[in-house]
Amino acid sequence: MSVTDSLTTADGLPLRRALLRADRRARWRAFALVAPLLIFVVVTFLVPIGQMLHRSVHNPAFPDNMPRLTAWFGATPTGTQPDETAFAALAADLRDAAAARTVAIVGTRVNYDLPGTRSLFTSTGRKAAGLQPPYRDSLLKADAKWGDPELWAVMRAASSAYTPGFYLAALDLTREADGSITAVPPERQVYVPLFLRTFVLSAAITGLCLILAFPIAHLLATLPLRWSNLLMILVLLPFWTSLLVRTTAWIVLLQQQGVINSTLVALGILTDDGRLTMIYNQTGTVVAMTHVLLPFMVLPLYSVMRTINPAYVRAARSLGATSWTAFRRIYLPQTLPGIGAGALLVFILAVGYYITPALVGGASGQLISNLIAFHMQDSLNWSLAAALSALLLGAVVVLYWLYDRLIGIDNMKLG
């Protein structure tokens, strides 16, 4: 029996229970304090992201609007030839869907997997009210495409609301009629090359940011406060300026008739025909994004460097180290938490960047986020956009995990 069990408080309660109660109350109070933020994060962040992720594997357009045919697919094994029952179910579903104006939704869904079929659904939908048995013959008469085995395979795949199909599409894969998974032809491969380009360019931008930010941060950290504050404003001023303004400023500077090209031509370094192409390509994306993301590297580096005691480097020098050795063995290792934080921050922001590449990237400077935006806004294929976003999120989480394993997240210092 422990001591607390035998002790009692002034009002006769066992001390152990009184302590527990006070403890619980304190915990509840703490929880009540964070509750508003927690609810805010759950409602505005976790729930929408969850919905989006759900959408990437869930598209009920076909089963919701074609219930009879979906039931037939459910009752027969894969590869079953469509019989009269199937065609009758198809005709009845088309009739109901046309009346409810949902036939185009079904057509759009099937069209994702088999291009050219949307009008098959809408045009047959318009005639569906007049279809007579035997349905197989009358549907084939309405359009011979209804007999296509590939169409039936695609409809069978679409008939289940939960599908890995959008992830396959996001990885440039496709499912053949016999169920095997193969790569799409090279001229249609777009997402995997773009993912690779996004990661390569983001790594390059992170590297450039580090090279540019390191000396700036060092200067800021070692100057007297009066001067460093002034210089800090120069770092922060662009940070406070609208992203669009900064991107447009780069267009003015870099374009063929822009400031830099015209200056070089005026100085006689370039001929008028030999103007450099520095924008609407990868160069434009890298230059503009490096500038936009630079403060995210400077600030963590600066905050770490300020805390480094200059006595260490002086001690190393006085013990005979060259300036390079003192930097490499003494100073650099102490800045690692800042480098880690800055690099991670810049890289993760760069991977999801959208507006800058859209404005200055041209064709070769597009990133995966531009295609996610395309599917959100233009093609309206939100399931595919969700699958692409989920893959991007997954890749970032893997990188974060790797970082944690290699360097350790506790070592990171954000500010």
Partner 1 sequence: MKKLLVLTTAMAGLALPGLAQEVTVMGWGGAYTASQIEAYHKPFTAKTGIKVTSVDADNPATPIKAQVEAKNVSIDVASVEIADAVRLCDEGLVEVIDAATLPPAPDGTPAVSDFIEGTLSECMIPTDVFSTVVAYDTSKFPSGGPKTIADFFDTAKFPGKRGVKKGAKVVLEMALMADGVPAAQVYDTLATPAGVDRAFAKLDTIKKDAVFWEAGSQPPQLLADGEVSMTIAWNGRIFNAAMADSKPFEIMWDGQVFEWEGWVIPKGAPNMEAALEFVKFSTSTEPLAAAANWISYGPPRKSSAPLVGTFKNEGKVPMSPHLPTSPENLTNALASSLEFWADHDTELNERFNAWLAAN
For partner 1, the closer CB: 164 or 258: 258
For partner 1, the closer CB: 335 or 381: 381
Residue among 15, 52, 71, 190 that touches partner 1 (CB under 8 A):
190
Measured from the CB of residue 195, what is the shortest distance to partner 1 in angstroms?
10
Q: Which range, of 33-41, 48-56, 208-216, 253-261, touches partner 1 by CB under 8 A? A: 253-261
Residues 273-312 that bind partner 1 (CB under 8 A): 280
Residues 15-74 that bind partner 1 (CB under 8 A): none
Measured from the CB of residue 236, what is the shortest distance to partner 1 in angstroms?
30
194 binds partner 1 (CB under 8 A): yes
Residue among 138, 160, 189, 411 that touches partner 1 (CB under 8 A):
189
Residue among 327, 331, 374, 403 that touches partner 1 (CB under 8 A):
374
226 binds partner 1 (CB under 8 A): no
Measured from the CB of residue 253, what is the shortest distance to partner 1 in angstroms?
12
366 binds partner 1 (CB under 8 A): yes
197 binds partner 1 (CB under 8 A): yes
Q: Which range, of 156-164, 200-208, 378-386, 403-411, touches partner 1 by CB under 8 A? A: 378-386
SS3 letters across the chain: CCHHHHCECCCCCEHHHHHHHHHHHHHHHHHHHHHHHHHHHHHHHHHHHHHHHHHHHECCHHHHHCHHHHHHHHHCCCCCCCCHHHHHHHHHHHHHHHHCCCHHHHHHHHHHHCCCCHHHHHHHHHHHHHCCCCHHHHHHHHCHHHHCHHHHHHHHHHCCCECCHHHHHHCCEEECCCCCEEECCHHHCCHHHHHHHHHHHHHHHHHHHHHHHHHHHHHHHHCCHHHHHHHHHHHHHHHHCCHHHHHHHHHHHHCCCCHHHHHHHHCCCCCHHHCCCCCCCHHHHHHHHHHHHHHHHHHHHHHHHHCCCHHHHHHHHHCCCCHHHHHHHHHHHHHHHHHHHHHHHHHHHHHCCCHHHHHHCCCCCCCHHHHHHHHHHCCCCHHHHHHHHHHHHHHHHHHHHHHHHHCCHHHCCCC
115 binds partner 1 (CB under 8 A): yes
For partner 1, the closer CB: 56 or 111: 111
Q: Which range, of 51-59, 117-125, 144-152, 210-218, touches partner 1 by CB under 8 A? A: 117-125
For partner 1, the closer CB: 29 or 188: 188
Judged by the rule CB under 8 A, the positions of this chain that interact with partner 1 are 100-105, 107-108, 111-112, 115-119, 122, 187-190, 193-194, 197, 255-258, 280, 358, 362-364, 366, 371, 374, 377-381
